[in-house]
Amino acid sequence: METVSKALSHGGVQGVYRHESAATRCPMTFAVYLPPQAADGPVPVLWYLSGLTCTHANVMDKGEYRRAAARHGVAFVAPDTSPRGPGVPDDPDDWKFGCGAGFYLDATEAPYAEHYRMRSYVADELPALVGANFPVDLSRQGILGHSMGGHGALTLALTYPERYRSCSAFAPIVQPSTAGWSAPAFERYLGADRAAWRAHDATALIEDGHRFPEFLVDQGTADSFLDDGLRPHLLKEACARAGIGLTLNLREGYDHSYFFISTFMDDHVAWAAERLRG
């Protein structure tokens, strides 16, 4: 593992690191913020999954999470959104597919199956790497994300409920199998059989019996993707039918940007930290 950069922030350390990934078969870069409490022993870890077109740097530069992470003693880890580099298949004319748009799934279709294994990377490989190299307590993990990353957080929590004590999201794509900006990517990654897509769709997972204790979701009412791509009412309906706790905050006038995310990031870090204690 290579250290790309380190900087002090709020008494802790913001680092960026790079390593060769076995899951994605290419170099991967990720960010780790260690709060000052990590100097005294392992701390809980909160994973943040970014949205379409993003890297680890978007939330690191604009997410404003470090003050809250330092206050609550939580490590904050932000992986990339997809494999990148020479030899990684991409579609540079489509911002909703390829590099920057891995959708946190393991692709099964050629030529994407070789590299686009973001579920395995985020759920298995990266936690093992972080656990071996940083003072974090992997028995206390939480996960959150934005947009495509919100989809990833919800589906990973529903798939591996024993791994995560908290799950929250900003403007998540709650039913990507039927959303116009995600269904085409699902077909290219997973094939035409839509039954295979259900394992990567939060509402379908809930319908199929997967459970998680509770979710926190913030959604801006001025989000231009609200009605066609995000549709939080579908998650609300699925959670109500399944008896899953859902706090859905509709934030009047907020859009899809990091101005929105940074405004409510403290709430999400505090909400996760409460569930990660003990």
Q: How many other CB atoms sit within 10 Å of the CB of residue 8?
A: 9
Exposed (0-12), middle (13-18) or buried (19+): which is 193, by Cβ within 10 Å? exposed
223 counts as catalytic: yes
Instruction: Give the β-pairing of 12-21 and 214-220.
Output: unpaired
CA dihedral 228, 207, 212, 173 (to 10 degrees): -10
Placement of tokens 């309906």 in the chain: 237
Let me know if 82 is a catalytic residue.
Answer: no
Catalytic residue chosen out of the listed positions 147, 166, 177, 182 = 147
In the chain the first and final C-alpha atoms are separated, in Å, by 30
* CA 110 – CA 108 distance, rounded (Å): 7
- DSSP assignment of 177-238 equals TT-TTTHHHHHHHH-S-GGGGGGG-HHHHHHTT---SEEEEEEETT-TTIIIII-HHHHHHH
Among residues 94, 248, 231, which one has the least CA distance to residue 169? Answer: 248
Residue from 146, 151, 223, 268 carrying the catalytic annotation: 223
User: Is 40 considered catalytic here?
Assistant: no
List the catalytic residue out of 56, 151, 210, 256: 256
The residues that are catalytic are 147, 223, 256
